[in-house]
Structure 1
Amino acid sequence: MVFLHRCPRRHCALLLLVVLQVLTPACFSDDTPSPETAALLLLKNSFTNATSLSSWTNSTGGGPCDSRWDGVICQKGSVAGLDLAGVGLSGDIDVDALAQLADLRTVSFADNYFSGGIPALNRLHTLRAIYLSRNLFSGDIPGDFFDDMTRLKKLCINDNDFTGLIPYSLSRASAMMELQLQNNHFAGTIPALVLPSLSAFNVSNNELEGVIPDVYSKFNASSFLGNENLCGEAQFGDQPCKEVVASNGKVAAIFVLVVFLICLVVYLITTREQKGEEPLDLDAMNDEKVMEAAKEVRFRRVQSIAKEGEVGQSRRMGSAENNGGGGGGGAGDLVMVNEVKGVFGLPELMKASAEVMGGGGMGSAYKAVMTSGVAVVVKRMRDMNRMGKEAFDGHLQRLGSLDHPNVLPPLAYHYRKDEKLFVYEYIPKGSLLYVLHGDRGIDHASLDWPRRAKIAKGVARGLAYLHDQFPSDEAEAAAPAPHGNLKSGNVLLAPDFEPLLVDYGFLPLLNPTAMTMQAHRAPEVAAGSGPATQRSDVFCLGVVLLELLTGKFPSQYLGDGAKAGGGGTDVVHWATYAVGEGREAEILDPTIVAGPHGAAWVPEMKRLVRVGVDCSAAEPERRIELREAVARIEEVAAGGRDGAGQRPS
């Protein structure tokens, strides 16, 4: 048993359990977890913030297929799939634990907060589908990564920060049907993967170059947009390929830099040894420091976007000293649109310490703390080329001038053709999404009915203010939704739980082909019956209200992800059915109903359920007007008294 001494602790525990079960089954009592139970519990332990997996427990005595563990898909009594999308997970993915699930065919970790390199799922040779979309994964994928994954049919790793070449080993997955690689940083040419069954393919918004191979001739231009140096007759007609000398120069520069760094390390080691000091122990570097360094590198990538705009022109950095408060609008400037947090420019932003906060379909977000102590959030946005620079500036100036207690305006922006940077005030408590689903601390425990009623009222008031500021012309049926992206992730919570709406007003900026906003998931827009309008915003308001009341993560936030094992609860269908049956109380979040005054609050909560259902009707013409929704929500909130007769503040 010497080999057990050398293996990692968590791996040894699993291995020891399996060995003992095989050799001495009579020694195990009825309470001993099955191998699948033990494997999933080890997997759960590798996650950070796994409170959403509270049903994963052996206390009931049943296995994952007997007890209906959340996200576990079973076939014939064995675990065949894991659907853990959108449940707020981070940390590690214990592939050793997954390897013990012999019948596992599908894994979905989409819409979470996992980071680092791609997990070693290639060790699971029998997998048919992998969903890692919309996380924070980064780095190169080894060229031979998919050599043994010959049964893989679906691979979705879009909306991460992967770099390097697209692995040619994907050609080994000859049964591949869906390959989603968009919104990453893949570079080089597209490999000619001969995949006869491939019906869905997307590499848009990467850094690819060269001629698109003929094997992809059946896919139109939308699968390749956002790669400046790509060309292909089937997709882009006679558009010639651009010169790629610059990128070759970058490769040479990187090579020189790597050689320099290697020489520097050798020099430091030699110097330390000559001085009698301990040599550098590179293997002993603290993992946390490595992660922080990786986050710093990723933020510097954002800073470099702004830096690149300065080449070939005067270095107007947007500081008060150079251009009177960060304005000026030059390609290298940070343009201030709201000075509530003071005036700052690119020099201050580029010196800031930073950390990665998250990513989504439109880009990534980073927290930056400047030397002045001011903390901001920098959002790096894609697909916003609908307006020219002058119109873009006018629109952002208008957004920055908004003034309402439930609306958080942008502080500044940086304009670049391919990507934009938006700067907002940092709100420490975070989003309603996090407090509802990702946090199980004091903030979550504080979400009693009065505070939820207060949040509902503030969200409705903030949305009504935006609709007043950006009214739609009655003659213009296609006027964009004033918010356009209302969801709990875009509702920040102030220290007193006052909600603040963010990420609004982006629809006029968005490329026509980009369908990433929450309003695009309203039924009429998703079905292609029309654009996102004011009534689409009302639908999104209804989803937020029902999320607040049920405590469930809405499947409406996942769009197409819900069709591919995306997870979540269809709160609209659930609530509509409950109202029709007069069973509204059954869908209310147990954490507020079971509170000290829960029974007294149930009538008001039921009234708000009906408001949410009336806002989220499938047919736009059946939805109530926003002004009616606000009036009804305020009436409910006014009645949301606690046991001492106090209204929510």
Structure 2
Amino acid sequence: MASISCVLNSLLSILLLTQRVNSESTAEKQALLTFLQQIPHENRLQWNESDSACNWVGVECNSNQSSIHSLRLPGTGLVGQIPSGSLGRLTELRVLSLRSNRLSGQIPSDFSNLTHLRSLYLQHNEFSGEFPASITHLNNLIRLDISSNNFTGSIPFSVNNLTHLTGLFLGNNGFSGNLPSISLDLVDFNVSNNNLNGSIPSSLSRFSAESFTGNVDLCGGPLKPCKSFFVSPSPSPSSIIPAKRLSGKNSKLSKAAIVAIIVASALVALLLLALLLFLCLRKRRGSKDARTKQPKPAGVATRNVDLPPGASSSKDEVTGTSSGMGGETERNKLVFTEGGVYSFDLEDLLRASAEVLGKGSVGTSYKAVLEEGTTVVVKRLKDVMASKKEFETQMEVIGKIKHPNVIPLRAYYYSKDEKLLVFDFMPTGSLSALLHGSRGSGRTPLDWDNRMRIAITAARGLAHLHVSAKLVHGNIKASNILLHPNQDTCVSDYGLNQLFSNSTPPNRLAGYHAPEVLETRKVTFKSDVYSFGVLLLELLTGKSPNQASLGEEGIDLPRWVLSVVREEWTAEVFDVELMRYHNIEEEMVQLLQIAMACVSTVPDQRPVMQEVLRMIEDVNRSETTDDGLRQSSDDPSKGSEGQTPPGESRTPPRSVTP
């Protein structure tokens, strides 16, 4: 009986826990719906009430989906005051980002319930009122950014209650009064462009002058030394001229001189004051003018994710404006494509932590990590010759392409000096890095099954571009074949050739270009097939088409393969890493025949891309998964699993001699 009682109690506890989790999830979902229903917003937030809140745009939950840990809605067109009783009910929230909207009014008092909050980003809105008292109760806050709003009043000493705070950004507001002595262990701090006065506390004097600029009456620390408020008295006349030497007449003259000096001093003081006001106005006007300049692309690669506006050289370096067609001024005009999953603006990209992924023929790609953790790839195009209208038209075409084996364009930016494209980040990297990376003892070889998976999925993506999108890729190479963790691929950098001039011939050593492209400088569907054939040869041989040591100097990969095959040394063609796998020779030869058909020197002799896809799929072994691809075996010693069943024809595709 005791054991039965224990089991019943355990089941009851589980049921109660489940009910509690569900009720928490329901309460938080209702809080979000209350927020969305009571505040105007753009249509980019299409939350489906019948779906789990954890699947909504901008919402992230914990691992067991029981509570909402992150709400990121930057630049989503939110307007007006945050309704009380909405976001304040998300008591398990860790990250809240509402920046770059048009939110106004005061911060609700129930924000004090967000005691687990670690990061709060409210910058670039229209919030007003005094420093939000509710925020000073959030003891777990690590980063607080309420810069670029309309807050007024003094900065309270109670900021010291935020004992875990490492970043405090209050710049571009209307805060006034003296700076309190903040004894927190801050790493980043900025109060620039406010109305603060007095001396900078010694606890904050370690920060650079940029953290305090724009406060006319602030002094000390990294700024100019503070002067005494009272002017030192002039020396007494008796200390210069003995009193006994002053007659009555001389005394009257001395009084007149003193009056003249006082009047002259007052005029000089007025002139100095007028000059000071003029310089301040000119400085502010210069700051506004600087914000209209196009942001330099170097910021993409060098700005740190935690850098707030004004914390470095100036806010202007991270706020971009550009002149569009017809003289219109466009501010942070980052255009998102249909079905986008991101919500950020140009400033976010310029402020992101970034690293160079690679430099190609059309531009440089950066991995950009936005301040809330979102990771994207930003491609900065170079030497674009297309007009704005032509550029936007081509981006509309590219932005509509949706296929699991084609990486989607998420957003683009056009200005006179900068053209940027935004794509999803693929953490597994490119085929080029996987195939030609370090071949030392620690390398994991790319087995045959995964090479076949890469060939098939890349062919599917390219066939979709040709057949459904009617779009020539124009730049097929291993570095533009990006990988999912399961070795499925996504084709990238497609459809960009129309944006560039054809006056410069392609680089002969690039190795992927069809012979006719070297002459006509125009890419076609047939030249895409040639480039894909070179890619197949690269998978088979393990050699990069960019290598110059293929037999004789300057010989390309197709001619090298053909010369080896003609000498009846076909086995010498294949990558040595494939020699450890058994019973794949027939499939390798069949794929080699397909590749050689693709790299025929006569364009009309090359198969179309959908036919190439069909032939590769026919080579694939019979035991396949639901997506038509067989499972990869990590142990080559087990040989070829799923061989051709008895009686089934395995006739190779017709051989076409280039």
What is the TM-score when the length of structure 1 is the normalising length? Answer: 0.45
Ranked by relative contact order (alpha carbons within 8 Å, sequence separation 6 or more), the top structure is 1
> Which structure: larger Rg?
2
